[in-house]
Amino acid sequence: MTDEEKDKLRRIPPGKSTGEDNIKQQTAEAELERIKLNNRSDEQNIENRKKYGYLIYSLVIGWLVILSIILFFHGFKVRDFALPDGVLITLIAGTTVKVIGLLAIIVNYLFPKPKQNRR
């Protein structure tokens, strides 16, 4: 800061501010508000991730329990329950693909890659 700029600042009465000071103040307030909004957004994301992660995890567990029951009934011929081999293979393969896919989606959503220039 030059001596002239310092003199101009000294001549400003207390409580008075320059237009430049007002702009700096407004910029700082806007930046603070943006940071607060980002924090609120991040908090909501964390809550939603927990909620939906739990729901999808529960769905996967339920799906696997039902598959296990079907396999148990088929394997031990409970009440003469039997499925054709093609249906059983399709059921197991489809369930495996769905479980792996859902878990991959959950992991990618819960642990996203960090953004480079997040402001």
How far apart (Å, rounded) are the C-alpha atoms in residues 24 and 47? 35
Quote the pLDDT of residue 37. 94
Quote the pLDDT of residue 15. 54
Tokens representing 55? 């729901």
Helices 19-75 and 85-110, interaxial angle, to 10°? 160
Domain boundaries in the chain? 26-110
**pLDDT 10s digits, 18-38:** 678 888 888 989 999 999 999
How far apart (Å, rounded) are the C-alpha atoms in residues 79 and 70? 12
